Amino acid sequence: MKERILTAAEQLFWKYGVRSVTMEDIARKLGISKKTIYQHFTDKEGILYQIIQGKVETDVSQMDCMAVETANPIEEIMMVMEMMRKNQHAVSPNLIMDIKRHYPHAYALFRTHMDQHLMKSILENIQKGVSQGVYRPDINPAILARMRIEQIELAFNNDFFPTDQYSMLDTQRELIHHFVRGMLTEQGFTVYNLYVNQHNHENTIYQANDADLATRTAE
């Protein structure tokens, strides 16, 4: 039951934001009483904390796999973009700011993950890129890794990127491309352009399939 509660709450939080979802909403989704939820969790932030804890463990595992399975650091970053594209409809654009403003313990866990695990992964990506000759040797990996960490959270800030003007995917994509292009050598640009062309081709197919599905659904 505890895992069912976490799964249902995660789906609701990610889609609608945490603050707008009540314990009653979670109970209704599962067809149980709020009392049953309180037998396992003290409050909503307790549920959120465990969800983020699980996401951190999953993210660390995925980052380790991408670093091993990808051919080079550029492909690794492009794979991150692909994961974001696939998950774009599942995450509320206001999610991180919602957690930051109203759930300090859960946000502290998220921020620790960003400052430790994700920072380490980005730093290693940059260092590997420099050693392979696809990133410039004159960059400062630590400064750029820190900048990228802040970019990720900045994209969720509605004050800077209002959701009625910019989609979350477009914002993250522009920031990632800007970040990567600033580090590339001539050799790196050759590799990067290959992945961009491949990504654009696959994205065109993805959009066409989405449009076809929408048409058939409407009919």
pLDDT of residue 148: 94
* Residue 181 resides in a domain: yes
CA pair distance 119, 11, nearest whole angstrom? 27
* Residue 32 resides in a domain: no
CA pair distance 181, 188, nearest whole angstrom? 9
pLDDT of residue 149: 93
Q: pLDDT tens, 42-101? A: 999 999 999 999 888 888 887 778 777 888 999 998 888 877 777 665 566 678 888 999
* Residue 143 resides in a domain: yes
Q: Is residue 219 over pLDDT 60?
A: no
Closest CA to 114 of 76, 79, 151: 151
State the residue range of the domain holding 157: 70-218
Q: pLDDT tens, 177-203? A: 999 999 999 999 999 999 888 877 666
Q: How many angstroms separate the Cα of 19 from the Cα of each of 8, 108, 173?
A: 15, 17, 27
* Residue 138 resides in a domain: yes
Average pLDDT, the chain: 87
Supply the DSSP symbol for 118: I
CA pair distance 207, 191, nearest whole angstrom? 25
Q: How many domains does the chain have?
A: 1
Q: What is the mean pLDDT of residues 126-139?
A: 97
Burial class (CB in 10 A: 0-12, 13-18, 19+), 37: buried
